[in-house]
Amino acid sequence: MKKLEVGDKQFNLLGQPIRLIAGAIHYFRVVPEYWHDRLQKLKACGFNTVETYVAWNIHEPKEGEFHFEGMADLVRFIETAEELDLFVIVRPSPYICAEWEFGGLPSWLLRYSDMRLRCADPTFLQKVDAYYDVLIPKLIPHLSTNGGSIIAMQIENEYGSYGNDKTYLEHLRQALLRYGVDVPLFTSDGPTDYMLQGGTLPDVLATVNFGSKPEEMFAKFREYRPTEPLMCMEYWNGWFDHWMKPHHTRDAEDAADVFDRMLSLDASVNFYMFHGGTNFGFYNGANYGEVYEPTTTSYDYDAPISECGDLTPKFHAIRRVLSQHMDIGECVLPEPIVKKQYGGVNLTQKADLFHHLLQLSDSITSVYPLTMEQVGQDYGFILYSTTVSGPRLNMKLHLQDVHDRAMVFVNGSYLGTVERWDPKPLDLDIPTGSVKLDILVENMGRINYGSKLKDAKGITEGVRLNGQFLFDWTISPLPLDQLSGLQYSHFRDVTSEGPAFYKGSIEIDDIADTFIRLDGWKKGVVWINGFNLGRYWDRGPQKTLYIPGPLLRKGNNEIIVFELHGVDNPEIMLVDTPDLG
């Protein structure tokens, strides 16, 4: 039986010491056609293990409806690693962080207003158990003890950063054991007193996460686990980006030096990330330090393998260091993936948002604004409409606790934008009679880490004129998951200046990877052949969106851009070089 054993300060496999050199690749951030390419590059770097989180929200997007196809085909990803003789570390924690929407938790959990997350709340445990009833049996045949490649599984993720409910941790542990998981279970936490005290179980392997100072970090770990193997479960060799902030990079030699020092301490290491990939669709998360900070569409992470699969200087520096500590063989790489510049595409067709609400939404009425979760909506946008009587002069329009970014229109004319990180009121004069007030709110990603995890979207409190709350609303959910009902006209014939969809197409003979530049566009979302590529924003840092070749097809390819603020020249460029800022 091939089982990873946790020995005295070392791992053992088949009676021999083994050091795990792993890299994180998230199957849900990479198109399936490229899984083999990315995993082969990981092996070519000298690694013996791939690690992946499991994102609950892509597998159970609606309660009781499970999805394991396409980019959610976790089993196929594991089988691809098996074909390459790679071990697999699976982290199926209900919560994953990962800068992923809601930390991987499904948004429908927020409809249970009294539920407490990530603790032994009976309702939360019931939802986790129902999910595990479907997920874990799919993994059992792929345990190393059953001839597969999964050598370890995580109980919960960085739990000590959030709570200290040992009953909850033990419930998750017992659940995995009950399903038949007999490979080592582990926890992963930051190497601080409170995190290690809150996030670990006494008889479960503990690991730590950090990006620098390995001697200091492992010394703290040793205070709690003097005989366990050293393992950095997340070596943050790069970092992620937020909108409106600079692009993060880390010197390759610095990252390689920290790795070298960990290997000199006889530690096992998992690179987070080895290949970051992309937050396609509406799946980017957000952080909340002093203010709300949404994560970009790209999850390049300045990793050894770039967002589009290229080797970076970090790849070569890390392989060089590893070769000094282990026999890693030759660097056998797959054929390079071609990138192509297809040129400009004119999006000459236009469909105004407000004139297509019937095609995009089933509106409801409510006395007060409801959140997305209260109307059964996961992602996208939500529109709140009401009529306000006049005259009312020198008023202040307050959107009380809006999540996350709201565009306000009065009688169809744009008034201004209210942003969660800068929630200033808007000046409003209402003449005699009345006006139509429309508030379009964008969910820019639920918080994925920390104490503000419970992050409902839309207008979460209310709308006020000065001190008076406004009631009687029509609410139009806009998940934008079905755009086929839109009726387009030539963009010059659509006179409205508000949010609109722009459509065009391009004929392609030779399929390759490419990147969309949206110079002159301001903020919105892009679809290619019906696939949601994610958000763009002229505030940066990201200036291009990655299109993997498998999303294209020979012949006609449809491109739709939902632009919130209008564009003078509706042309995009398909280029062969990414620009992440």
502 DSSP β-pair partners: 350, 561
Residue 322 main-chain phi, psi, to 5 deg: -60, -35
233 prior amide bond cis, ω within 30: no
501: tokens are 């969809």
Q: Are residues 435 and 429 in contact, defined by beta-carbon separation less than 8 angstroms?
A: no
* Sign of the CA dihedral with 216 first, then 219, 225, and 230 last: positive
Is 192 buried (19+), middle (13-18) or exposed (0-12) by CB count in 10 A?
Answer: middle
Residue with token string 């490649």: 149
- What is the DSSP track for 441-460? EE----B-SSTT-----EEE
CA distances to 407, 478, 562 from 381, in Å: 11, 5, 11
Residue 158 annotated as catalytic = yes
* Sign of the CA dihedral with 315 first, then 320, 322, and 328 last: positive
Q: Give the number of residues written for the chain.
A: 581
Residue 490 main-chain phi, psi, to 5 deg: -60, 140
CA distances to 90, 234, 237, 321, 385 from 250, in Å: 27, 16, 7, 17, 46
CA distances to 213, 325, 333, 360, 576 from 262, in Å: 9, 11, 26, 53, 37
As a whole number of angstroms, the distance between CA 443 and CA 430 comes to 28
Catalytic residue among 234, 307, 373, 571: 234
Catalytic residue among 51, 99, 101, 158: 158
- Tell me which residue of 387, 456, 371, 22 sits closest to 209, measured CA to CA: 22
Residue 101 annotated as catalytic = no
SS3 call for 141: helix
Residues classed as catalytic? 158, 234
